[in-house]
Amino acid sequence: MSERLQPGDTAPAFTLPDADGNEVSLAAHKGRKVIVYFYPAALTPGCTKQACDFTDNLDVLAGAGYDVIGVSPDKPEKLAKFREKESLKVTLVGDPDKTVIESYAAYGEKKNYGKTYMGVIRSTIIVDEEGKVERALYNVRAAGHVAKIIKDLEI
């Protein structure tokens, strides 16, 4: 398991398929700030709330120079269903083998109803224009998270 990222670390490079099977890479966003958020699964209540919040605030974030990429272990076909069902505008990419999710330390031990298991830890990494980690937020809550990011970034 990777160590959690810290401000100043170089964000791990990645290229992953989006909902349409097109490749999306972090490198392609150099020169812009990127909010990379990790969520457990498309089409689940918390993840839907979070994706809808990012979509609802996409114009505000983009206006402040931020691109948003959502990463989950889902395959592109499931991401496409998620995007269509919820009218999502945020870029969603799939990491079925969890290589990128693990490189960002967004995979690990979780507890739910007293049971311990391994899974995707809801996390948000804010990457600056140079590809460095500006903020690394782990174990975030789905509800209210986007509003908190906007407030913390003073957008």
Active centre residues (catalytic):
47
Q: 76 — phi, psi (to 5°)?
A: -50, -35
d(C-alpha 71, C-alpha 63), whole Å: 22
In SS3 terms, 82-132 reads as HHHHHCCCCEEEECCCCHHHHHCCCEEEEEECCEEEEEECCEEEEECCCCE
Polymer length in residues for the chain: 155
N- to C-terminal Cα separation, the chain: 33
Contact, 142 vs 122, CB < 8 A? yes
Give me 95's structure tokens: 């990491």
